[in-house]
Structure 1
């Protein structure tokens, strides 16, 4: 019944046109903010999904690394247990160390990562080749796959480079000889095979070669590695598999899921999204003040109706519900219109790429959009809460109106 009264009050002609104007202004404001809510959060979701897909090309579902130091020991028994886990699709062993790459007089410090033949099954780097091929060679004839930033810093084109680079790695257990520092380093020539491009902080840091070459350069034992990276059949079960692997490897190993390997990045992205949600909520609260003004004027307009209802037996609670329903109706119409417009806009952005990304240096040339159902639920709850809060004060005023049929 209360919504029936609210609908009649919404459609009825008011004695003061300002009431209609304020009501429409409040609806339009809520519509615009709801539209902004969905579009902005969907763009955040789009960028988040894009960044996660890029990082997923380099960071695997699970990584096993040393809790202390730089090396871990993986025995045949441990690797057999790893293989026997039904959720493990593939795993790759690697040796990684800081290295100095030298091209004539150009020196670049990079993280050199030696990987085995299974690496192409656990990471998506081979699919992100920008130039040349993903070839790491063998122990005697190693080849190097460079990150795009490392390649630019060295001033080479990896697929056309005729002269080999020189690789310097600090010898294990060696002390620095100040007279001849190069005696403290293992050195070797290495040719380039290709360049990958994933994301700037990866491209500017990493180069990849084969595991046997790196183990020789680092003087590692047969069971010594820097890390093991694992691809799962179902990435959603990473936390469950992590617990299983913990029982195999123990506390001296650091076992991290994909998100734990980049926790700071995902934390910042989450904080940015919630900060944006907070700003838009404040805008919605400001817009709700127009609703408060409109409903207050409506209460003054309908004083005689309120008194008549009370004379007919309506209690304060029913009167308050009527004007609360009026506020929810205004917010509902505004939010519904905003959702429809946002869905149309998001579809058009995906289909026609209406808003391009400036600069032309990113992997895509338009703002990505991804609509999530939980965002709709959150936005509707937020709009409903603010609408009820804004309607409570004028509805309470209406409920406390005394019965004065004679004036």
Structure 2
């Protein structure tokens, strides 16, 4: 029989007149401190992970995980073509990490109405394009109908562009492309999307890639590049390096070199900003751990001082300091465990409320999203619980040495 555990249970779960009035408040304060600390940590991790995922998904939705294009220092959307063969696409899709492969082309232009105009970038896509991102972001209308044979004049524009130019679905609009000979194309707006990611919403329109190929005089196998979607973002860096060396010494049918770049390479500032959010999470986790730890220390000290008489009796009966310390550390485990239980209930409950009801709203002009995002990762939740328990108990090792300072002769008479 574990004597220390038995005594700890009697102290923590005991009922009756022997329990003094000081224990319940001390226990409640310690439990509340741990519960609040863990609930705040769960919220912080869920919100930051959710926010990073939302922003990252929007960036990837416009640009995919990895792009293969020609090696060109030109930073505009007026690109040089590169030839992509069917065999190359087939070889890429054989990678287990790759979910989808698609070609694209981009070209800057100017949308003009009777009383206004706006600079835009036309992103041309083909029949193999994955429309899932824009399908989920579509506010009204339909997606463009693109075929292998006919050139489609349908496009989708963002709500931002629609508001600025006072456009709606089924409207026709002229788009001017500045090149050696300025050319104009009449497009029909089939749908309007809204991602709230203003950096892209304010100039991206999506249409048929064949429009750009015809404007630029490209062949059917020439594109601005190829986009690669992955199953997991965690494979991004490794696979980018692998594909970079695979295409390093290859040239296309027209002698152009291939250049592989990840979404991080295309948007370094945005991803650096997202990485900075991790620092905020660590600060919150450390502060909450300290707060929870100190409330537990104060609670344990109060319980030890309250049980001075009992400690003296145990020492008089031959109990060692180590044995008595174990008793109070078991009590601490019960307190921390109860606090963690309530912390999980509160933290996960608040996360569920925000996830389903979107109570806390955000300004999309600033945060790119309309409400506080929530993303729960069961692994992180388990690690938070384990770390909270371990840190709390480590912080309690020092106060438990107070037991060794208590003398039986004086403590037995202590009231």
Q: TM-score interval w.r.t. the shorter chain?
A: 0.7 to 0.9
The answer (yes or no) to whether the contact 2:81–2:225 under 8 Å persists in 1 is no
Give me the whole-angstrom Cα distance separating, in 1, the residues matched to 2:123 and 2:327: 69
The answer (yes or no) to whether the contact 2:82–2:225 under 8 Å persists in 1 is no
1:200 aligns with 2:200: no
1:60 aligns with 2:70: no
> In the alignment, what sits opposite 1:249?
247
> What SS does the corresponding residue of 2:206 show, helix, strand or coil?
strand
Q: Offset of 1:136 from its aligned partner? A: 6.9
Q: Offset of 1:113 from its aligned partner? A: 1.6
Give me the whole-angstrom Cα distance separating, in 2, the residues matched to 1:108 and 1:135: 21
TM-score normalised by L of structure 2: 0.77
The answer (yes or no) to whether the contact 2:111–2:175 under 8 Å persists in 1 is yes
Structure 1: stretches of 5+ with no match in the other structure: 172-184
Give the one of 138, 144, 150 matched to 1:129.
138
The answer (yes or no) to whether the contact 2:159–2:194 under 8 Å persists in 1 is yes
> In the alignment, what sits opposite 2:91?
84
> What SS does the corresponding residue of 1:17 show, helix, strand or coil?
coil
Rate the CA distance shift 1:166–1:340 in 2: closer, same or farther, 3 A. Answer: closer
Rate the CA distance shift 1:211–1:259 in 2: closer, same or farther, 3 A. Answer: same
Give the one of 353, 373, 382 matched to 2:378.
373
Give me the whole-angstrom Cα distance separating, in 1, the residues matched to 2:81 and 2:177: 24
Give me the whole-angstrom Cα distance separating, in 1, the residues matched to 2:81 and 2:248: 12
The answer (yes or no) to whether the contact 1:59–1:123 under 8 Å persists in 2 is no
The answer (yes or no) to whether the contact 1:92–1:122 under 8 Å persists in 2 is no
> In the alignment, what sits opposite 2:210?
212
The answer (yes or no) to whether the contact 2:117–2:165 under 8 Å persists in 1 is yes
> What SS does the corresponding residue of 2:72 show, helix, strand or coil?
coil
Give me the whole-angstrom Cα distance separating, in 2, the residues matched to 1:335 and 1:300: 25
Rate the CA distance shift 1:110–1:73 in 2: closer, same or farther, 3 A. Answer: closer
| 1:129-157 deviation per Cα after TM superposition (whole angstroms, max 9, x unaligned) | 33333337788774433222222222222
The answer (yes or no) to whether the contact 1:136–1:145 under 8 Å persists in 2 is no
Between the two proteins, the alignment pairs up a number of residues equal to 389
> In the alignment, what sits opposite 2:253?
none
Give me the whole-angstrom Cα distance separating, in 2, the residues matched to 1:233 and 1:16: 59
> In the alignment, what sits opposite 2:122?
112
Give me the whole-angstrom Cα distance separating, in 2, the residues matched to 1:83 and 1:144: 28
Give the one of 180, 184, 190 matched to 2:186.
190
Rate the CA distance shift 1:3–1:365 in 2: closer, same or farther, 3 A. Answer: farther
> In the alignment, what sits opposite 2:12?
10
The answer (yes or no) to whether the contact 1:316–1:400 under 8 Å persists in 2 is no
- Taking only aligned residues, the RMSD between alpha carbons, in angstroms, comes to 3.8
TM-score normalised by L of structure 1: 0.78
Give me the whole-angstrom Cα distance separating, in 2, the residues matched to 1:232 and 1:280: 31
Give me the whole-angstrom Cα distance separating, in 2, the residues matched to 1:371 and 1:295: 32
Give me the whole-angstrom Cα distance separating, in 1, the residues matched to 2:233 and 2:385: 31
Rate the CA distance shift 1:270–1:318 in 2: closer, same or farther, 3 A. Answer: farther
Q: Offset of 1:364 from its aligned partner? A: 9.0
Moved more, 222-231 or 355-364: 355-364
Rate the CA distance shift 1:290–1:197 in 2: closer, same or farther, 3 A. Answer: closer
Rate the CA distance shift 1:339–1:135 in 2: closer, same or farther, 3 A. Answer: closer
